[in-house]
Structure formats: structure tokens, C-alpha cells
Amino acid sequence: MKSSNRLMALSSAAVLTVYAAGYFRTKPAAARFAHEAANRRPAATMPDFVAPVQAAASDERAAAPADPAPVADRSEPAEPTVAPARSGPAAREHRSADPTSAASLDSPAPASAPPSTIGFALDPVPAAPEQKAADQKAADAPAAAASPTPVVQAASAQAAPAPAAAPAAAAAVAYKDGTYLGWGWCRHGQIQAAVVIEAGRISSASIAQCLTRYSCSWIAALPPQVARRQSAEVDYVSGATDSTNAFFYAVVDALAKAK
Amino acid sequence: MGTFVSIDLVRDDPAADQAVERAFEWFREVERRCTRFDPSSELMQIGTIPCGTAVAVSPMVFQAIQFALTVAEESEGAFDPTIGRTMEARGFDREHRTGQPIRSTIEPDPNVSYQDVQIDAERQTVTLRRPLVLDLGAVAKGLAIDMAARELAEVGDFAIDAGGDLFLGGRNAAGQAWTVGIRHPRAEGVIESVQVSNQAVCTSGDYERLSGDGAGHHILDPRRRTTAWEAASVTVIASSAMLADALATAAFVLGPTIGIPWLERQQVEGVMFTSDLRRYATEGLAA
């Protein structure tokens, strides 16, 4: 076999070459950006995590998937006095493209499909249900302030280095005690997560309802991570990324109610 | 597999919007030029020109073909863009159907291999010695991911997921390397996790679904025209998705004894699980 660096060098060169060559866009970029900006739902503001307020556990959305409420304008994020430990995942902006009628690089398009594209529809057509769900998901997840600052919790295994802009007082995140339910969506369906808060901390998380096309066992390892990390951040599961995202957003949704 | 492409930014950053749009645009462009399933794509147009004639192609298509052919050479045919799914889709290992044109493509010669494709880097041309269909699926998807990652390089902390092939940029929300779980090839759940930053993670598995219909598909050994049976899944971590994707497929066919050392020589990290769930890994992922 030949030189070991050959493929790595070739892939790097290929990326540079293709990038430099660019391509001719079929629509003016400016027009498309304007269209996308007009359609994008503004993200929610960062919740202001402060000392726990006495309140009952909220199970009001137990039975049915939540109808995401319109969210605040992204231009006025609430500056958190105490940065929550999971400010990162809350800030995660999830953008997806799921042209259910489009062809892919790997599988044949249905006979009746329109010309193949991957990505957001460029023309003003109504978004597919999954796309809307993704938009709503992104809107529901509380957005971070300009510089999110993860807080180091003594018990947390994720000791994130605090950036220079972090608040000096790295106080523990305090959630309101109780059990909170949240919904997350992916193109395979919905997942409801149940998060239990005890003594102001996440004591457990579980999948309350699995309404996805594929079994939730693929992500069975994730719920315990929520308590271990005191965070919704479970990263990815290669091969089950859609369910992972749905679970993540379900936990975010639940934690948002626990503030 | 599949078309679902998602881009996650760790921080809500309005300045990154244009970069994300450009990233998605790369996926569109790669699809337009490299898809096997649109007769008007640049890739399929190559097949309309008589064999033996040099066909000028765009930089994108040329680079993709060149890379695919080079992986084929490096793997001595274990990876072969001229065989792959065309064989699987037609049950080639069981029966050779004749006289059935599909979308006006020519029935590929059963003896075709990557050696029937010649390229000229100076002229940026591709010449087919025999009628064949180039399957750029994995390479093209990897290239699109790499282009998107390049657009997002300034954003820093992001994750691109194109149907299970990932590129993780920077760090996750907790400021740590991204944790990626590898799907268990024979049971439900995650068999193990890896920590990556600024790397692509691609998995080739014999459990992968086709079009969500629940049916698995078999990765074929292009050299022997039989199912590659040793590996159940291979995950490769590399600096480029194009590299990770192609190498995972090649290593899958090569099997653990040859494939893992081969990945070492390619200077990437990889882990392979055989059907009986034995684990083989490059040194960087040694247990």
C-alpha cells in the first residue's frame, strides 16, 4: 500500500480546491437570506436562573404535546445573574433541513418527487411538519446571552473552564423541586422526558413517552447522563441522532419549567 | 444515510446565520452535481458521453471522483466507487438481471472496477473505459460535510449531522470535547462513546436501514462480489468527513485483521466490532 499521508493530504486539498472554486448560486444570496430571516422564529431568551421560588410542580402538559408559545425577541436576552450549568445546551440552536420529498445522495428518490434538493426550501412554501417542529424546537430552547458561561457545579462531572466573562460567583443552579415533563420533536416523532428535581438539583431524568417511529431503546443510555451531568447535554449518538435530539429538547423543555 | 441534515450551533449567534446558510447551500450544490438519481446531474451526464472520451468536469466532481479512486487504490479495491450500491440494489451477488434499463442508465458490465475509470488532473477530465455508474454517495456526502465545516470554521463550536455522518467543531456547550455515542451493532443502545473535537465521525454498519423501511443492507466486498461478513460496524474518526466515510467503508470490507492496521497506516482512528462483538481498534482508541 502507498504512502500513508496520501489520502489525508488529498482530502484536504480537495476541500480547499472545491471551496476556492465556489459555485454559481441560482438565486441572489441577499434575497435568500432576507427570506430566511423573515421566516425564522426568534429564539427564546435565556431564563434567569436565580434562587428557587416556592411553587408547585407543573404537570400541566402531561397529557399532550405542548403547543410552543410565541417566544420573546432574540434581540433582548435577559442577562442571567447566575449562569446556569446548562446554559450551553439551552443556547444550542438547532437548524435542520428535512426535505421529505427530496432525493438523497444514497437512496433513490420516489418516482413522483420534485427535483432533488437538500436543505431549506428556497421558495416560500409551507415548511414540512418536521421542519416546523425543528423551528419550534429551536425557538423553544432558551437562547444563551451573547457569551454563555457554564457554571461549575461541585457535584458535576463536567467541570467546564469558566471564560473570562463568567460571573465571579459560580453559584449552583437551583431548580424548583418537582417533576417536570417536556416534549421534544424529531423527524421520527416525539419524545416526552420527565425530569425530577430534588433539593434544587436534577435527581433523575427518564423517557416518559416514546412516540417515535423507532424504539427509544437506542437512546436508553442517555437519560442517566442527565442527572450525572446535571444537564440536558447528552451530545450525540451516532446512528440515532434524531432521537437524541428529540430527547435533548424534551429535557430542555422540562428544565425550562423548573426555573 | 438519508437526507436529513442538521447543523447545531452551541451559541445563538446572529453573525453565524450567513455561514450556516452557506453551509446548507454546499449540501444542495453537492447533491445537484453528484447525485446518481437525477439523470441531469453532472455525474450522470458523464455516462451520456461515449466510453473512451475524456469528459471535462467541474472541480467538485473531479475532486470527488479523484478521491474515491485514490481510496480504491489505497485499499486495493476494498472500496470501489464503480461497484457498491449498484450491485446491492440489483442483487448482483445473487442474480444478474439483464435488459432492464433503470432511468436510462446503462446496465453496468459485471467485470467493471475502479480501474476502468481514468482521470487527468491537468485537464480535469474523467474517462470511462467501460459503461459504468460512478457511485459517489459516501464521498460526496463527506465532501459536503467538509465544505459546511469549512464555512463554520469561524463559528468554532458546532455540530453537523448528515444522516449519521458527523463533524464536530470545537467544543460542546459545557466547553468540552463532543461526546459521540456509537450505536451498538447488534443490540439497542450505545456500545461505546468517543470524545472528539474538530473531527469527523463516520460509521459503516451492516445494520443500516434503507429508506426507513427497516430492511438492513449488506456491504459488499467489491473484489469478491460477496457480502463482507467479518465486521458488523466500523467507526472512523478523522480530520475530514470525506476521509472518515470512505475509510470506514473500506475498513469494513477489509475486516479486523487487515482493516485496523490499514486505518493505522492512514493515520486515522477507528474502532471495529465484529459480528460476535469483539472489538478491534487503532491505538488511539485502544481499550
Task: Kindly report, residue by residue over B69-91, the tens digit of the pLDDT.
Answer: 999 999 999 999 998 544 545 54
Mean pLDDT of chain A: 54
Q: Model confidence over A99-131: pLDDT tens digits? A: 333 333 444 433 333 333 222 222 333 333 333
Q: Identify how many contiguous H helices and E strands chain A contains and give both numbers.
A: 6, 5
Please give, rounded to a whole number of angstroms, the shortest distance from the CA of A9 to a CA of chain B.
Answer: 10
Q: How does A185-207 read in b/e, with b if 16+ C-beta sit within 10 Å?
A: bbbbbbbbbbbbbeeebbbebeb
Q: How do the domains of chain B map onto residue ranges?
A: 156-285
The pLDDT value recorded for residue B40 is 86
pLDDT at A21 over 60: yes
Please give, rounded to a whole number of angstroms, the shortest distance from the CA of B52 to a CA of chain A.
Answer: 25
The pLDDT value recorded for residue A249 is 77
Which residues are within 8 A (CB) of A2 and not within 5 positions of it... i.e. 6 or more apart? B73, B74
Owner of C-alpha cell 475502479: B114
Give the residue among A188, A194, A197, A176 at the shortest CA–CA distance from A62.
A194
Chain B residues closer than 8 Å to A242 by CB: 4
DSSP A219: G
The pLDDT value recorded for residue B167 is 97
Strand ranges, E, within B163-264:
165-169, 178-183, 190-196, 199-205, 220-221, 226-227, 231-238
Alpha carbon B14 to its chain's center:
32
Please give, rounded to a whole number of angstroms, the shortest distance from the CA of B49 to a CA of chain A.
Answer: 22
Q: How far apart are CA B129 and CA B82, in angstroms?
A: 12
Mean pLDDT on B222-242 = 90
Mean pLDDT on B170-184 = 93
Q: Is B154 on the interface with A (CB under 8 A)?
A: no
Burial class (CB in 10 A: 0-12, 13-18, 19+), B174: buried
Q: Model confidence over A204-255: pLDDT tens digits? A: 888 888 877 666 766 777 777 777 777 766 566 665 556 677 787 788 888 8
Owner of C-alpha cell 417566544: A71
Neighbours of A119 (CB within 10 A): 21
Domain range B156-285, CATH class: alpha beta
pLDDT at B147 over 60: yes
Q: Model confidence over A44-103: pLDDT tens digits? A: 333 333 333 333 333 333 333 333 333 333 333 333 333 223 333 333 445 655 433 333
pLDDT at B171 over 90: yes
Q: Is A108 on the interface with B (CB under 8 A)?
A: yes
Q: What is the ipTM of this complex?
A: 0.86
Give percent of chain B with pLDDT exceeding 70. 86
Pairing of β B125-128 and β B158-162:
unpaired
pLDDT at B224 over 90: no
Q: Is B195 on the interface with A (CB under 8 A)?
A: no
Give the residue among B126, B140, B136, B139 at the shortest CA–CA distance from B47.
B126
Three cell numbers at B199?
473531527
Kind and range of the H or E element at A195? strand A189-198
The pLDDT value recorded for residue B238 is 97
pLDDT at B102 over 60: no
The pLDDT value recorded for residue A4 is 58
pLDDT at B262 over 90: yes
The pLDDT value recorded for residue A23 is 62
pLDDT band at B199; cut points 50, 70, 90:
very high
